[in-house]
Amino acid sequence: MNIRFHNARILTMEDDREVFEGEVWVSGDSILFVGTADEASEYMRLHQGEIPSWDSERDCHKNLLMPGFKNAHTHSAMTLMRSKADDLPLQDWLGNQIFPVEAKMTAEDIYHLSKISIMEYLTSGITSVFEMYLTPYSVADAFRDCGMRCVQTSCVNNFSQSVELLENYYNDLNGRDEYNSFILGVHAEYTCSKELLEKCAELVKKYKAPFWAHIQETESETKECMERYGLTPIEFFDSLGLFEYGGGGYHLVWTNDRDREIMKKRGLFAVTNPGSNTKLASGIAPIREYLEKGIPVAIGTDGPASNNCLDMFREMFLVTGLAKLKNMDAGAVDAMEVLKMATVNGAHAMGLDDCDCLKAGKKADIIMLDMDRPNMQPINNIPKNIVYSGSKDNVMMTMIGGIIRYENRTFNIGAEPDDIYKKAEEISKRIYG
Amino acid sequence: MNIRFHNARILTMEDDREVFEGEVWVSGDSILFVGTADEASEYMRLHQGEIPSWDSERDCHKNLLMPGFKNAHTHSAMTLMRSKADDLPLQDWLGNQIFPVEAKMTAEDIYHLSKISIMEYLTSGITSVFEMYLTPYSVADAFRDCGMRCVQTSCVNNFSQSVELLENYYNDLNGRDEYNSFILGVHAEYTCSKELLEKCAELVKKYKAPFWAHIQETESETKECMERYGLTPIEFFDSLGLFEYGGGGYHLVWTNDRDREIMKKRGLFAVTNPGSNTKLASGIAPIREYLEKGIPVAIGTDGPASNNCLDMFREMFLVTGLAKLKNMDAGAVDAMEVLKMATVNGAHAMGLDDCDCLKAGKKADIIMLDMDRPNMQPINNIPKNIVYSGSKDNVMMTMIGGIIRYENRTFNIGAEPDDIYKKAEEISKRIYG
């Protein structure tokens, strides 16, 4: 499909370009042109004969086109436990409410349950996710069938999956289809033996690949690692060579100066999950300290049983709001910085370098935000409007790889919402009784 | 209009009644019946001849009917400054960004600017607000013209309004029309002289009326009052007799045990504004301490220049989330408690005792939430779904006094959104240049 969006406001997220009015042209799965109306006319004059015939020309009525949000940490199939395991601290939540239920979930359950999250991502303008769950193949199938980009890492640990499986996932899922890719990783230090991690380090070396895990989410996790090894999880992972080719960590709430020194040196990304860290009372991540150190921050919702909302607008507000509270400084972490985390940095963390901004040649992962809703009025400052007062209510369209997957509250994901919901209810009845 | 809603899920918020399936009947501005389908049949059998003919019978398809949210603290016309004055601490924000702009706003400006907020309230299922702003008559006109309930208090202080005006507002706005009422109050201790407050105390005695103000929002405000009078603002107000007939405070972030003792003794309400307190880095209110003490808590968004979002879903998540962080206890402040704050307690704080829950004889201030959206699936626990994963995206309908003011993203407020937005842009251009 060739689609011409015109009469739009555009926030490219490329460098520091401000919002302007103009056009975005999509051809196949990619962006052909981004520019002002004058630049569009000039391009047409210079490239006569090369401009495709438009399948659709859309007047955007000055609504905003921008890159889709990148949800840089989630566990999609945990919709099953949403609102079933609230108001508990992390270790109790994991040990008593999550692990026993997960033991009963099949790969097929996970395929179906992931789709509810995929739908919710679309309502929030999310075009790709950094996923970690039990059955990577069926997860990949769900994302492929719905047409959403999914970068997975493994949750290998002492009790499930294995380093051999991890290598299989890595080889099988990279390049399998246009929507899926895979990055090396484990669940967390506290669920993995040193031997297991050493085997992972061999894979890191073999593939010269970045490495990811849940890291330093809670204070107790960090303390216990110190007791075990005399090192924080970041120091311990680094001592094993796991970060030789970069990567990063999810959560990273409890880091010290030495940890941040390693993160900087190794080029690690910090994926922050403020909704989940708030709801599980894990703490507030030192976002300003990461920014001051030059450590790139991306944003994840975490899964629907810990957050429970898969909403980048809520997360964006929390990233800056919680930083303001932590530092007791209303000036901490401004809106444009947060938007960069939710788009460009997320894409780079996930290795999706061609999905980071709106620019000719990049993938057409584009959202349209409705500026004619009261929470965007008056249109004083669009980045601040999005971060401080934006909501799912503003998401008019979510396009992934040139295909509109969500528009005007309606989904285009190869299955009917009612069927997806029914399937989830059946699974819930079977597992919870 | 007589409207019968059937095939609905219903959360009445009356006592501890759980969600059930049934019917809600609306006749004129009030609720005629709430009950299960069986109870509805029985009622019809017993009251043949008394049942009105229905203007509309609506199949709710198992979506949720519940009382509208009560936004217990806001300054609606501050849409003008939304996204114009971010990332600043409270005193700098007030002194340099807010007060100079407010000096240029006319009563008519405030009428028009309030309407943008009224629209946003409707998108978030808010049916009444506790308002404080510069020109109470034009604010009241805006709410009356749009058909939303507004309880106002005054922002009288040393620099604007007066105790004489306060008394006029009280007498003129109470009973003026079905949408407006007025409660005694001032801006805050730090903007009012002792003499002004003593005159207010005379009004409190004269009308045997509750009293409200911004109280103990920031640490410095509290400390400065201690330096001035040797008392916290709550102690100081109480010493003047301002709380003889109850009332409450907005914010109440920095209270100690003695303050809470007075609040309990005087039957005061604590209105919490977590979004605003976060964005302005004011701190986290001691919500669990209020609950343990038996002090009723209600929730306000604060105005669109300080939050900047007028979204009860975000606020509800923040109330419980920030309590969990403050107490480092994931079990702090459960979802049902938060829903009670956002509905029943808000109504009682505002003196709207007939708008608190769904029950025969109460006002028909009702919202319908869409359960067929992915963030509500699976339907494991509806109160938890609403508080932890709900969003504006779920608001299908907002009814106030039996009139549907918002449905399927469309407004019924006696004016066109485009005209309201244009008016705001004109005002913004005139004032900001």
Domain count for chain B? 2
Q: What is the pLDDT of residue B420?
A: 98
Q: Is residue A27 part of a domain?
A: yes
Do B343 and B371 fall within a single domain? Answer: no
Looking at the partner chain, which of B83, B281, B417 has a beta carbon nearest the beta carbon of A330? B281
Q: Residue B419: CB partners within 8 Å, gap ≥ 6?
A: none
Strand spans (E) along A337-382: 366-369
8 Å CB contact between B91 and B150: no
Distance from CA of B48 to the nearest CA of A (A): 38
Q: Is residue B288 part of a domain?
A: yes
Structure tokens at A271: 């994926």
Distance from CA of A241 to the nearest CA of B (A): 34
Structure tokens at A312: 């980048």
Q: Is residue B416 part of a domain?
A: no
Looking at the partner chain, which of A120, A281, A418 has a beta carbon nearest the beta carbon of B325? A281
CA–CA gap between residue B211 and residue B244 (Å, rounded): 9
Give the mean model confidence (pLDDT) for residues A86-98: 82
Contacts of B79 in chain A (CB under 8 A): 377-378
CA–CA gap between residue A174 and residue A94 (Å, rounded): 30
> Which residues are paired to A168 by β-bridges?
none
Do B40 and B177 fall within a single domain? Answer: no
Contacts of B308 in chain A (CB under 8 A): 384-385, 388-389
Q: What is the pLDDT of residue B366?
A: 98
Q: Is residue A418 over pLDDT 90? A: yes
- Torsions phi, psi of A323, nearest 5? -65, -40
Q: Do B384 and A329 touch (CB under 8 A)?
A: no
Structure tokens at B212: 């409200």
Instruction: Give the chain A residue whose CA is nearest to the CA of B277.
Output: A325
Q: Do A391 and B392 touch (CB under 8 A)?
A: yes
Contacts of B280 in chain A (CB under 8 A): 324, 330
The three-point CA angle B228-B229-B232 to 5° equals 100
Q: Is residue A134 over pLDDT 90? A: yes
Q: Do A332 and B281 touch (CB under 8 A)?
A: yes
Structure tokens at B415: 């004016």
CA–CA gap between residue A128 and residue A146 (Å, rounded): 12
CA B59 from centre of chain: 29
Q: Considering only CA atoms, give the Rg of chain B.
A: 21
- Torsions phi, psi of B245, nearest 5? -115, 30
Do A11 and A160 fall within a single domain? Answer: no
Contacts of B410 in chain A (CB under 8 A): none
CA–CA gap between residue A99 and residue A88 (Å, rounded): 14
Q: Is residue A123 part of a domain?
A: yes
Contacts of B424 in chain A (CB under 8 A): 377-378
Do A307 and A272 fall within a single domain? Answer: yes
Q: Do B330 and A374 touch (CB under 8 A)?
A: no
Do B343 and B376 fall within a single domain? Answer: no
- DSSP assigned state of A357: S
Q: What is the pLDDT of residue B231?
A: 98
Lowest mean pLDDT among A12-26, A82-96, A240-254, B251-265: A82-96
Single-letter amino acid code for the residue at B196: L
Q: Is residue A432 part of a domain?
A: no
Q: What is the pLDDT of residue A85?
A: 82
Of A353, A368, A391, the domain-final residue: A353
Cβ-count burial A51-64 (b if 16+ within 10 Å, e if not) = beeeeeebebeebb
Q: Do B311 and A391 touch (CB under 8 A)?
A: yes
Q: Do B278 and A322 touch (CB under 8 A)?
A: yes
Strand spans (E) along A286-387: 297-299, 366-369
Q: Is residue B430 part of a domain?
A: no
Provide the residue range defining the domain that includes A400: 2-67+356-411
Instruction: Give the chain A residue whose CA is nearest to the CA of B332.
Output: A87
- At residue A99 the predicted structure's pLDDT band, cuts being 50, 70 and 90, is confident
Q: What is the pLDDT of residue B417?
A: 97
Q: How many residues does chain A have?
A: 433
CA–CA gap between residue A303 and residue B112 (Å, rounded): 42
Distance from CA of A91 to the nearest CA of B (A): 11
Q: Is residue A214 over pLDDT 80? A: yes
Distance from CA of B238 to the nearest CA of A (A): 29
- At residue A114 the predicted structure's pLDDT band, cuts being 50, 70 and 90, is very high
Q: Is residue A248 part of a domain?
A: yes
Instruction: Give the chain A residue whose CA is nearest to the CA of B80.
Output: A378
Q: Do B283 and A322 touch (CB under 8 A)?
A: no
- What CATH number does the domain containing A62 carry? 2.30.40.10
Q: What share of chain A is helix, strand, coil (3-state, %, to 5)?
A: 45, 20, 35
Question: B33-42, long-range: CB within 8 Å, 24+ apart, which pairs?
Answer: B33/B360, B34/B10, B34/B358, B34/B359, B34/B360, B37/B6, B40/B6
8 Å CB contact between B253 and B276: no
Closest CA to B411 of A377, A384, A22: A377
- Torsions phi, psi of B145, nearest 5? -65, -30
Structure tokens at B40: 């509805």
Q: Is residue A363 part of a domain?
A: yes
Q: Is residue A32 over pLDDT 90? A: yes
CA–CA gap between residue B157 and residue B98 (Å, rounded): 15
Q: Do B310 and A117 touch (CB under 8 A)?
A: no
Give the mean model confidence (pLDDT) for residues A215-219: 97
pLDDT tens string A315-348: 999 999 999 999 999 999 999 999 999 999 999 9
Contacts of A84 in chain B (CB under 8 A): 380-381
Q: What is the pLDDT of residue B96?
A: 86
CA–CA gap between residue A346 and residue A364 (Å, rounded): 16
Do A115 and A53 fall within a single domain? Answer: no
Closest CA to A56 of A127, A4, A131, A17: A4
Q: What is the pLDDT of residue B87?
A: 82
Contacts of A390 in chain B (CB under 8 A): 309
Do B293 and B378 fall within a single domain? Answer: no
Looking at the partner chain, which of A278, A310, A379 has a beta carbon nearest the beta carbon of B325? A278
8 Å CB contact between B29 and B178: yes
- What CATH number does the domain containing B345 carry? 3.20.20.140
The rounded percent of chain B whose pLDDT value lies above 90 is: 93
Q: Is residue A86 over pLDDT 90? A: no
Lowest mean pLDDT among A204-218, A282-296, B37-51: B37-51
Do B390 and B258 fall within a single domain? Answer: no
In this structure, the number of other CB atoms found within 10 A of the CB of residue A433 comes to: 5
Looking at the partner chain, which of B86, B377, B392 has a beta carbon nearest the beta carbon of A116? B377
Contacts of B320 in chain A (CB under 8 A): 279
Q: Do A83 and B389 touch (CB under 8 A)?
A: yes
Lowest mean pLDDT among A22-31, A83-92, A124-133, B334-343: A83-92
Give the mean model confidence (pLDDT) for residues A280-302: 97
CA–CA gap between residue B377 and residue B389 (Å, rounded): 10
Looking at the partner chain, which of A79, A314, A389 has a beta carbon nearest the beta carbon of B308? A389
Provide the 3-class DSSP secondary structure of residue A307.
coil
Contacts of A373 in chain B (CB under 8 A): 120, 123
Closest CA to B392 of B275, B335, B312: B312
Q: What is the pLDDT of residue B90?
A: 74
Instruction: Give the chain B residue whose CA is nearest to the CA of A280.
Output: B330
CA–CA gap between residue B280 and residue A381 (Å, rounded): 18
Distance from CA of B185 to the nearest CA of A (A): 28
CA–CA gap between residue B316 and residue A163 (Å, rounded): 42
Contacts of B310 in chain A (CB under 8 A): 375, 389
Do B52 and B25 fall within a single domain? Answer: yes
Do A57 and A147 fall within a single domain? Answer: no
> Which residues are paired to B153 by β-bridges?
B132, B183
Consecutive H or E run containing B349: helix B346-349
Structure tokens at B16: 């501890």
Is the C-alpha dihedral spanning B94, B99, B100, B102 positive or negative?
positive
Distance from CA of A174 to the nearest CA of B (A): 29
Do B21 and B157 fall within a single domain? Answer: no
Q: Do B335 and A308 touch (CB under 8 A)?
A: no
Q: Do B393 and A393 touch (CB under 8 A)?
A: yes
Of A353, A369, A401, the domain-final residue: A353
Contacts of B83 in chain A (CB under 8 A): 380-381, 384-385, 388-389
From residue A377, give the alpha-carbon distance in Å to each of A374, B9, B295. 5, 34, 36
Mean pLDDT of residues grouped by 10 in chain B (433 residues)? 97 95 98 97 92 96 98 97 84 85 96 98 98 97 98 94 96 97 98 98 98 97 97 98 98 98 98 97 97 98 94 98 96 95 98 98 98 96 96 98 98 98 96 90
pLDDT tens string A161-175: 899 999 999 999 999
> Which residues are paired to B407 by β-bridges?
B397, B410
pLDDT tens string B39-58: 999 999 999 888 999 999 99
Q: Is residue A12 over pLDDT 90? A: yes
8 Å CB contact between A120 and B375: yes
Provide the 3-class DSSP secondary structure of residue B132.
strand
CA B97 from centre of chain: 24
8 Å CB contact between B149 and B143: yes
- Torsions phi, psi of B59, nearest 5? -80, 115
Q: Do B330 and A279 touch (CB under 8 A)?
A: yes
Do B342 and B241 fall within a single domain? Answer: yes
CA–CA gap between residue A41 and residue A6 (Å, rounded): 12
